């Protein structure tokens, strides 16, 4: 599992290769095993796997060019009726998203995070696009597929950012 964490990168070019529904389900299942505030699991997921849906996303979000080649975009949404306190869906969805991205990497797939939150314009556009009820908030998208680019693993460990018992 540590290899998946250390080797995960944001990939913006994908192979023209489908991802099985079983793999997508398993990856989302991993997301659902993320911790959440008071175990409320205030998340829901929309799987966009047809060209029409992927194109609509690109029409409302300027930084989604990777969806030209990604066969899937998982839209992670927060449920304000399920969250344990106002705004806790943000942490819940973040944790689920990270689990999804690591699970995908461990299964040989690649991902790229697409921010919606905290940008109200994108949140509103996605709410309209997916006809979301008022209590469902689009948090982010995850482009998913078999990567067609490779990045070296950088050394991101910074010991100076670790403090023991005091600053």
Has residue 162 been placed in a domain? no
Strands 72-79 and 110-115: unpaired
> In this predicted model, what pLDDT tens digit does every residue of 45-79 receive, in sequence order?
999 999 999 999 999 999 999 999 999 999 999 99
Find the CATH number of the domain harbouring 49: 3.40.109.10
Peptide bond into 118 cis (omega under 30): yes
Q: What is the DSSP secondary structure assignment for residue 69, as one 8-state letter?
A: T
Residue 108 backbone zone (phi > 0: left; psi -120 to 50: alpha; other: beta):
left
Has residue 8 been placed in a domain? yes
Per-residue pLDDT, 14: 97
Has residue 75 been placed in a domain? yes
Single pTM value for the model: 0.93
Number of domains the chain is built from = 1
Has residue 155 been placed in a domain? no
Its domain, for residue 40, covers 2-149
Element (H, E) at 83: none
Has residue 161 been placed in a domain? no
- φ, ψ of residue 42 to 5 degrees: the values are -85, 50
């Amino acid at each position: 599992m540590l290899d998946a964490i250390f080797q995960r990168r944001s990939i913006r070019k994908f192979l023209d290769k489908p991802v099985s529904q079983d793999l997508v389900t398993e990856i989302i299942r991993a997301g659902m095993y993320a911790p959440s505030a008071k175990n409320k699991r205030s998340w829901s997921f929309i799987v966009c796997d047809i060209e029409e849906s992927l194109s609509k996303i690109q029409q409302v979000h300027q930084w989604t060019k990777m969806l030209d080649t990604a066969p899937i975009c998982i839209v992670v949404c927060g449920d304000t009726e399920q969250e344990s306190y106002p705004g806790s869906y943000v942490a819940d969805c973040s944790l689920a998203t990270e689990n999804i991205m690591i699970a995908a990497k461990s299964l040989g797939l690649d991902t790229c995070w697409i921010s919606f939150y905290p940008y109200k314009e994108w949140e509103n556009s996605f709410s309209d696009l997916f006809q979301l009820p008022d209590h469902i908030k689009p948090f982010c998208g995850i482009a998913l597929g078999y990567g067609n680019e490779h990045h070296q693993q950088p050394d991101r460990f910074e010991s100076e950012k670790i403090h023991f018992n005091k600053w």
